[in-house]
Structure 1
Amino acid sequence: MKLTSNFRAIQAVLVDAEQRQIKDKVVADWLDKLKDASYDVDDVLDEWNTAILKLQIEGVENASIPEKNVCFFFPSPRFCCKRVALRRDIGLKIKEINET
């Protein structure tokens, strides 16, 4: 996932910038902005992982409830709508972070 890759790259740069900020005040300002972006990425990754786990749990619960003419292997339409909404919300957040 590109966001995870970006997060790792940001973390590596932060380590280097921590050392440079002592000598260069411009680096200190830039470092603060990069830290903020890093926190945003971490929050989105946590939100994504939590939401996926929640959807998986709901999918298992939905699978145990018999529905008319629907095999339990297929998630309910409500489950699918939630996944689409989640992807859209997370996608918008990732786009905003990438622009930042």
Structure 2
Amino acid sequence: MSRKEEKALQKEQEKQEHKAQKVQGSLAASTWVGLIVGFLLLILLIVFIMQNQQQVPMNFLKWSGEFPAGVAYLIFAVAGALLMALVGGLRMLELRRQVRKQAKRKRN
């Protein structure tokens, strides 16, 4: 092997070692970024609520009353998020049940 080939091989090995030493992203880092983004969105939501304080009439089924518009939007947004979480939770339970059934079939 020539001197150039040896240097090229050594350089390639160093690159591979450098790639192996790189630190990959972690769950904690992703969570931290998510928390920061959520906090910034929360600030924007608070500003929106504070700017929409005019009273608006609300009627829902047999309930009625007047609320500040920003608070009413917040209540409906939270209710929508809870509904989505409920549907997502039911879907996860359904998938978990299917996985258990498949695992049981494989054992038998």
TM-score (norm 1): 0.42
**Rg bigger for which structure?**
2
More RCO (CA 8 Å, sep 6+): 1
* Structure with the larger strand share: 2
TM-score (norm 2): 0.39
